[in-house]
Structure 1
Amino acid sequence: MINGKSLCSDLMIQAIERAPIGTAFLNSEGYIINVNPFACLLVGCEADELMNRSIHDWIHPDDASLVHSRLAELLKGDQHTNQVELRMLHKLGHMLWVSSTLSAVKDDEGRIFGFVVHLIDLTAQKRAYHYAEEVMIQSDKLSMAGQLAAGIAHEIRNPMTSIKGFVQLMRSGSGSKEEYFDIISSEIERIELILGELLLLAKPQGIKYGQKDIRLLLEQVITLLNTQAILNNVEIITRFGTEAAYVKCDENQMKQVFINFIKNAVESMPGGGKLTIHIECDSVDQLVIFFVDEGCGIPESILSRLGEPFYTTKEKGTGLGFMISKKMIEDHCGQVVVFSKPNEGTTIKVTLPLAHTAND
């Protein structure tokens, strides 16, 4: 039942009216019974448009259950105050991020008869954070592309040499031109495949989720990196099985993660060795990818700090590669765990939600 019971003294009300943060008073059912000007400004409404409306009318649908559960906790008396970041809806239709502090208000007998909600606009900070994150991702992509250039140059040189040789034979009139055309066409397709993978890595891409077979993505990445591995005397062994392994993911982000993990593994074996990549189903709903190398390993003191920005053991590293890769996997509702021992090698375990068919 909605009531307009006064929650504060006149002095407190004046202070709240002038406060530079949004403040709203709710009754025990979550309906707004008072609101200050800054809260009105946040959602683009006049006070009378908010009065006697449920607070949930202004909460993003995906966050409504979170707010409901927090208010229920306060009503039960388990907590007096709690804080949560959530999305609110502006009158014009756009979304804004806020830090919300919810507090229970009690009468003289200690019974809860309402709530105070304090709202701080985080939208600008969130946008700045996501922009900085995108800059780091693109920087890491370009850094990878540059480091792959030497290996790709070797990979392209071989088909280019073949093409040049067959063109000279065709000019001399020797042999079957039809056979030469088939070989030249095959070599050009090989070059296009390699360059296409490199351009996808370097070019900024919008996030686009779709059902992808992880086996195919790994095969495409290995095509790009295999020459670099061979140059470092590293053999890449794959155990993918015969079953399709579909995951809902952004193809470019997932490839960037795999490139980072494979490249790190190759660089950890300067004297050569084996990198084994195998896929298995951990359960009905989870796909697990293991990257197992025979490299120098990682000491415990460093292992505990993996993922920290700018913490790296590489002379020219930034520490951002693993951090960004871990974040991308977590954004796909997955998990990354690293096991390592010095002089024995490193295992990276990536767990992702499994889609059983391409149409799930």
Structure 2
Amino acid sequence: MSTLDGEGDQQLVQLELEETLREQQGMTFRFYKTGGKFIHTYCTGRLLLKLGLTPEEVVGRELIEFYPAQIAIRKETFYARAWEGEENVTYEGEIGGVSYLASLRPIRVSGKIVEVVASCVDITERKRAEEELRATKELLDSLFRNSADGICVTDTAGKVIRANAAYLNMYGWTEEELVGRELPIYPDYLKHELGVICTMLEAGNHIVNQQAVRQRKDGELLHVCITISPIKDAAGIVIALAGITRDISEQKKAEDFLQKADKLNVVGQLAAGLAHEIRNPLTTLRGLLQLMHSSGSGKLEYYDILISELDRINSMVSELILIAKPHVTSLRTQDLAVIVLNVINLLESQAAISNVQIVFESEGALPFIKCSEVEIKQVFINLLKNAIEAMPNGGAIRVVASAQPHQHVRIRIIDQGDGIREEQIRRLGGAVLYDKGKGDRTRADDVL
């Protein structure tokens, strides 16, 4: 190969290198120091154009000639460090909304620094992402600190990592008392709930607006609404749990008040029917007493009638008192047939006023069930009142009780009213059932 051919190859390589540097997304430049000034000897790359500069504006000039003084002075400090021999000097810069990272490296010849070469990369997108991340973090921190709802973050073992002020105030603990220990907010009879919740969340499930009972530091029980979500790492593994808690104790008190008010309303309506029903045996008692007084002698059969009528009055009044008075829920083994018959007896007078007849049918022997007598009676009262109101022109109500497998009991309350319109069924999540043989309709809201 001739010398001429070798020089041509070198020139070709040089041209290719120049093209590569010119088309790079970043920027490469060189400078040296002379007369106390840093003069640029080379500069190329697409980043240079993004910064609003050209090679002609940079090469042969110092920083102050094409950068604002404040920026030029700052960058010269890094230039000086590299010129003095420091390896890998880096700095970030930003001009016209374009951010970049520069890395400076001194070039030595025979141990003497003759030039510094710099490589720059465009980090505009990275800086934008960092800014968005910072803004998001600040927003989340603000929501965490200022949320009216209690927020608590725990590890998968249930130990507290962080809790906000609302959470601490809700339960009466300080952050120092909570962080690093398991949540002491579960009453003794609900200790098992923590394990169940952790298992559900580790499986990827969420708990949304679930009502629960929790315990304050002073032992007071709170009614709360909780939402808990798993926090996962990049591999999708659950590493922590985030819970939002809202105190609904006042809401529960309001609901209890409304329930009591509704119960009083029912009792008031029952009282109107009972007044008529009680008046009948009282009239019988009064008449018999007058007859005994006028005849001057007491007949044995009169006493039997008097006792029977008094027992009837006492039974009706006892049922009314049982429903009206405050009570603590108590689950006991009960004969459901007796409970249903007592409710029917209580409502017979109101049904008679509406020209409605209530018939009880039992399909076989019914097992005893464990329930709250007062509350189950309230359920039957509501259902039967609903059935009575559904038949303004009168009719018959069938209360059909049947035994089911596993010691269960099925109670159907079937009226002859119009039932629920089919277009409303989807909204109720029920279904209208027809007894084609008798033409009766089982109302979707009257099946227990």
- What is the TM-score normalised by the length of structure 1? 0.70
Q: Distance in 1 between matches of 2:340 and 2:278?
A: 20
3-state SS, counterpart of residue 240 of structure 1: strand
Q: Mean alpha-carbon deviation: is it higher for 158-167 or for 141-150? A: 141-150
Which of 231, 244, 253 matches 1:104?
A: 231
SS at match of 2:418: coil
Q: Which residue of 2 aligns with 1:31?
A: 159
The alignment status of 1:115 with 2:204, answered yes or no, reads no
Which digits, 9 at most, give the CA deviation of each residue in 1:102-138, with x for residues without a partner?
34152xx646473252433x22xx2233223223322
- The 8 Å contact of residues 425 and 431 in structure 2, kept in 1 or not, is answered as no
Aligned-residue RMSD, C-alpha? 3.6
Structure 1 residues 16-95: aligned runs within 5 Å: 18-20=145-147, 22-55=150-183, 57-59=184-186, 60-73=190-203, 78=204, 83=208, 85=210, 86-95=212-221
| Higher relative contact order structure (alpha carbons within 8 Å, sequence separation ≥ 6) | 1
Residues 44-91 of structure 1, C-alpha deviations (whole Å, 9 max, x = no match) = 333333233234x54442521332123312xxxx47x76454544322
What per-residue deviation string (whole Å, max 9, x for no partner) do you get for residues 179-231 of structure 1?
32232122111111112222333334333332221111111111112233334
The yes-or-no answer on 1:168 pairing with 2:293 is no
| Structure 1 CA distance for aligned equivalents of residues 153 and 300 of structure 2 | 82
Would the aligned equivalents of 2:156 and 2:240 in 1 still touch at CA under 8 Å? yes
Residue 104 of structure 2: aligned partner = none
**Structure 1 residue 146, shift from structure 2 partner:** 3.0
For 2:155 and 2:401, the matched residues in 1 are separated by 54
Decide whether aligned partners of structure 1 residues 288 and 47 sit closer, same or farther in structure 2, where only a CA change above 3 A counts.
Answer: same
Gaps of at least 5 residues in structure 2 are 1-132
- For 1:46, give the aligned amino acid: T
Say whether residues 1:266 and 2:388 are aligned partners.
Answer: yes
Secondary structure, in 3 states, of the residue corresponding to 1:263? helix
Identity, % of aligned positions: 30
Which string of whole-angstrom CA distances, capped at 9 and with x for unpartnered residues, describes residues 292-336 of structure 1?
1223333223455569xxxxxxxxxxxxxxxxxxxxxxxxxxxx9
Aligned ranges 1:1-360 → 2 under 5 Å? 18-20=145-147, 22-55=150-183, 57-59=184-186, 60-73=190-203, 78=204, 83=208, 85=210, 86-96=212-222, 97-106=224-233, 110=235, 112=237, 114-115=239-240, 117-120=242-245, 122-123=246-247, 126-173=248-295, 176-241=298-363, 243-304=365-426, 339=433, 344-347=440-443, 350-351=447-448
Answer with 270-279 or 22-31: which moved more. 22-31
Equivalences, count: 304
The 8 Å contact of residues 299 and 340 in structure 1, kept in 2 or not, is answered as no
Q: Counterpart in 1 of 2:88?
A: none
What is the deviation of 1:178? Answer: 3.5
Which residue type is aligned with residue 93 of structure 1? G
Is the CA contact 1:16–1:36 (under 8 Å) kept in the aligned structure 2? no
Distance change >3 Å, CA 305–CA 201, structure 1 → 2: farther
Please tell me the residue identity of whatever aligns with 2:242: V
What is the Cα deviation at residue 27 of structure 1?
4.0
**Paired residue secondary structure (2:181):** coil
Mean Cα deviation higher: 173-182 or 136-145: 173-182
Q: Which residue of 2 aligns with 1:319?
A: none
